Structures are given as C-alpha cells and as structure tokens.
Amino acid sequence: MKRFFASLRSAIAQLDQDYSGSHRTAKIDDAERVAIDSSALHCPVCFCVFASAPFILKCGHSFCQNCIKNIVENSYSEQIFECPMCRQVISSEIRFTRNYIVDALLQSVCEIAENENESSVDPNLRISFQLISGKFLEEQKKNKILQKKYEEERIRSRRYLILLVMESALYRKAWDIIRDCGFPVVPSQHWLFGSLDIMKSYSTHWQLGKLTRKYGRTYGIMQGSHPTVVTSDPKIIYEICFKQFRLFHSRIMDPSSSHPDTVYEVHEFAARGERWKRIRSLTSKAVSNENLRKLFHVMCDSVNCFVKDLEEEITDSKALELHPRFQTLTFDIISRCCMGRPYSYQHNDSNLKLLLKKFSPLQRCVPDLKWISLTYAKLCLRFRITFHLEIDPLVTYTNYLRKLISMDITSQDRSSFLYFMKCVEDDEWDDWIVDADKPYDISSMKIIPKLTTGEIINQCRFLTTAGFDTTANTVAYLIYLLASNSEKQEKLYQEIATLEITFDNVQHFNYLHYTIMETLRLFPHASLLQSRMCVQQCEIGPYTFKKDVGVIFDTWSLHYDQEIWGSDVKQFRPDRFLDYTTIQKRNWMAFGAGPRQCVGMRFAMLEIKIIICSLLKKFCFRKIENTCKIAYNKPSRMEHRTIIDLKKS
C-alpha cells in the first residue's frame, strides 16, 4: 500500500510536469478527415467541453484537469484508485498521459476559429468545427471571462489589502508620533479613521469641550491617520501663535487638496511660509483703514438697499426669517468690495446660489488616504462626466472669477480688492515655488511684490466664499441675542440713535463694539478653522511637539473658561469688555491670533457695525417664542428656521 501511494504521488507530480512543461502537442496539419467519438470531446465527470488538453488513464477514458485531480485526492481518503467510468482498479505503476488526439483536434479547431475567413482551411475540419464549435467556443468564452474576472478581483483584493496594510502602518506610525509626548491621547474609536466622527461633525466644539473636561486642556487625537493636538491652554496657544510662530507658520493641510507649496492656484488660508507671507502682505493693503474708508459708501449702499427691501416686506402679522437674507446682503457687500461691482444685486444672484448649493449641506470628510487625496479632484470630475452630472458649483464660480480677472485693469474699481492684486500680477513669474516645510522667520523675510494669476483667482474665491457666511452668521447671532435681551438692545439703540452713520462715528460706538465681541465670544463659529502644523520638533512647556503634528485650538473651551471670563461665561454681558484685561485680550480668538489672524477682521467688524446700526435705526428686534432657540451645548450653527419679529421704530 505504501508503494501504491508513493507511485500515486509520483504520477501527480508527473501530471503537473507534463501539463506545465515545454512539450507541445502535434497538430493535425495534413489530415483529410478526423473521426472521433463525440464523448471524447467532453469530460464524463463534469460534462464540460474540454477547454484545454484532457488527460487519459490507461483504461482509455479521458478527464479534464480539475476532475482528474479530484479523483486523485479522493483516492487518499478511500485508499483505492479506480477509473470512475469503468471502475477499473489502477495498478501500482500509475502514469497519466495526455490525450494527444483530442488535444490536437482542439488546437486545430482553435486555429480554424482564428482563421475563419481563410479559404485554405481543410473543408472537413471546417465541418468538424461547425459541428462542435458552438458549445466549445461558448464554454471557452465563458471560462475566459470568468478567469479574467477572477484575476481582476484577485488584483483588486491585493490592492485593497496592500492599501489597508499601508494605512495601518501609517496609522501606527502616526500614533507613535503623539505617544509619549507628555499629554494624554484620546483612544481612537476606529483603527483606520481615528476620531474623524468627532472632528467632522456639527457638534465638534461641544465634543471637544467634553474631551477637555475629561483629559485636560491639552491632549492628542487622531484625525484619520493624522496626529493632532487639541489645546485650550492659553500659555501653549501664546507660544504657538507668537513666540514660536516660525515653527508653526503652516496650517493643517487638507488631504483632499493639492500641496500648497507646489500647486499653481492657492489662497492665503492654505499657503504657508514665504508664499503665505507674500500673498497676505499684498492682500492686506486692500483691507487697510485707508481703503476701508473708500469702501464705506459701497457697504452703506448695499445695506440701504437691504433695509429698503425689509421695510416693504414687513407687516404687523408677518415675521421674517433673517439668516438667508443676511447671507444675500453679506455676499453682495463682499462681491462689490472684492470684485469692484458698481451696483447692488441682492435678488437671485447666480453666484450666491452656486456657493449655497456647494456649502449648504456640510459634507462628510472622506478618509484621508494618500491615494485618494492625490486624485480626489480628478476622480470627482471623472465621476461627474461619466454619469452626466452637473459641474461642481465651485468650479463654475471659479470659471466666472477667471473670466472676470482676465479683464483689463482699467475696468476695475481702484478701491476693490481685485485692483490691488491686479497691480502686482505677473503670470510669467515662476519663482513662487518655495519649500515651506521648514522654519521661517517672517520678521526678516523680504516680500516680492508679485502675484500669479492662479493666486489672484483663488484669493478672490477665498475672500468671497469665507467672507459672506461667517459675517451673516455673526449678524444673525447678534440680533438673536439683542432680541433675547431687550434692555441691552435699548442701551445699544440709545448709543447710535442720535448720530449719523459715518466711518468715523461707527468707529466710536463702543457699546456696539462690545456687543459684537461678546457675540463672537459666545459663538466663535469659525474657530475650528484655526489650526497649525509643526514643521520642526520643539518643546513647549512640558510637552513635545513633533514634526508634522497638527494643532487645533479649542476656542470654545477657551471662551468659556471661568478663570479668564468669570463665573457668568454663559451670559450675554457686553459690559465685561469695559474692563478688558490683558489675559482676556490674549485669549479672545474669534478671528484667530498672531500673524495668521484673519486678514479680513477689520473689514468684517466694519460691515457688521454698519448693518446693525442701519437696522436698529429702523427696527426693533423681538424674539418669537417657540420659533428659535440656541443652546450653548449644541452645534455651532443657526437652527434651520431662526425667525425674528421686526417692528418699525
């Protein structure tokens, strides 16, 4: 019996050697006719037409490769090897041979199929081909399709496996970066996505507050595979934003966008290092006090048109939903000031519709896998083209800006942001590519007064996109708070009632300034955009910040810190800014802090003051019960319908 199984194993090895070896079967080249039993063309076990050369036992029966191997495998368990057709027991000297006649016939049939249009083919073989080719070729085609699908699935599975292994390795490496740095690390809820569900939700600020109360003012968290430090420690924030800014000049880079150092089109918010400093310095001239004075009449004109429309809409029995109206107004103002549009257009603005369509639903963050981040934009474009979907609204808006910016500079308003940027436009300049992945001392940096066309396009898009919704939200929050606190509304009205709305007068409305600051202290809705990235390992206090670690400032926890603002932090009390301490000034971060503070802060404050003054001179605000409510522990966004009743003064 041992000799039998040894011979059986030898036969299997010989079978594999014959099948995979270089031996070629003879072709039927000179035959006039081939006669063969039709049963020899298919396997008697599985009844499949032979798609490859069959194997024949000594008894004369042929089987396909899969079946003959199954027969051999079963013989191990039953300890007997016999032909499944005739039940002839195979002797101990086992050797499989290929059925060369059928093999040759199959090869000839395949050649006939490939040379179907040639007239030199033997007619007898042509007839044989016509008789057996139907099932054979159909089966062969199916096998090829299945084999192709199998190979594709195998390759795809390998890619996914490699991708998961790489992402797991990256995640492990990233986890090691923030481990043993002196601060606690929040356990990740998912090994691949980390705590993205926290960082990309509507209630991020509230969840960060819970983590702050649990882990302290500074702790680590994983954003996908990106290690991030969240801090509300005033000393740490001051070190990062001021003293060691040269190591934290970069914001956390968006994994779905191109690299800010090498991409042609970039805006100030994404740029870093020398490029950021150049774009910001050249843009700052457009929002200087001198130019804001020139733009004051443009803002007032848009606000007056807005107030006039409100007066026509208001009736004694009608309450108005103000937030979408404020979005229309603020977009009109920023569009006119940025692009130099000479007139107010607050009805059915197609560009505003594009932006609202793009940003109204908060899009979930895709996993920050590197292969996705590099091709994300192209994948989205191909997806839209393939399924005939409409173009991305942001792309349409960008094309509009590109066309507008290509116009001659003489057609631009000299006080518009675009005019200032067009004055330094140089699209042939190619020295803008600078490696910013290193420390930069911005105080000694020489600014080259040049902007590329791509930088101007993206900067205009950034200013108009970021400059309308944040301002509209602030105005809506402020009016809600004034409607909820009638005594403070009356105090503010008394301050502005007797004075004309001029650039100088607006600057001296102190209580108005305090109400805006208190509103932004309570609702720093743009604070989650405040981030930094460490470009070189450093020590800050007891903590180690390693290279490429991101830092997010938990502004909400900072603005509700009772040690800084007192025990009444949840109350709307503008008078707290009458005794504005140095610590409070340093930790009021609605617009950020340090050199990367929001470039449009003065513009936004002036715009809000004009809007509030103009509205209070005409209306008083009254909250309608059970229609709007803002909870301090809920997401930082207005309810879908925030309705305020306006009454004419």
Q: Binding site for heme: which residues?
A: 598
Cα torsion through 387, 388, 393, 399, rounded to 10 = 120
The total of other beta-carbon atoms located within 10 Å of residue 595's CB is: 15
Answer yes or no: are the C-beta atoms of 614 and 304 closer than 8 Å.
yes
Alpha helices, DSSP H only, in 341-414?
A: 350-359, 370-386, 393-405
Amino acid at 645: D
Strand locations in 147-268, DSSP E? 218-223, 226-231
What's phi and psi for 109, nearest 5 deg? -60, -40
Find, among 485, 424, 492, 434, the residue nearest to 459 by Cα.
Answer: 424
Cα torsion through 75, 78, 81, 83, rounded to 10 = -90
Cα torsion through 159, 160, 162, 166, rounded to 10 = 130
Alpha helices, DSSP H only, in 89-122?
A: 100-114
Based on the number of CB atoms within 10 Å of its own CB, is 635 exposed (0-12), middle (13-18) or buried (19 or more)? middle
Find, among 176, 14, 25, 169, the residue nearest to 94 by Cα.
Answer: 14
Annotated binding-site residue numbers? 598
Q: What's 621's DSSP letter? A: E
Residues sharing a CB contact under 8 Å with residue 41, sequence separation 6 or more, in sequence order: 49, 50, 102, 105, 132, 136
Distances in Å between the alpha carbon of 602 and those of 95, 290, 607?
92, 12, 9
Find, among 480, 442, 160, 146, the residue nearest to 321 by Cα.
Answer: 480
- C-alpha span between 614 and 628 (Å, rounded): 23
Amino acid at 221: I
Residue 287 in tokens = 């929002």
- C-alpha span between 552 and 252 (Å, rounded): 9
What is the secondary structure of 213-244 as a DSSP string?
Answer: HHH-SEEEEEETTEEEEEE--HHHHHIIIIIT
Amino acid at 320: L
- C-alpha span between 435 and 428 (Å, rounded): 20
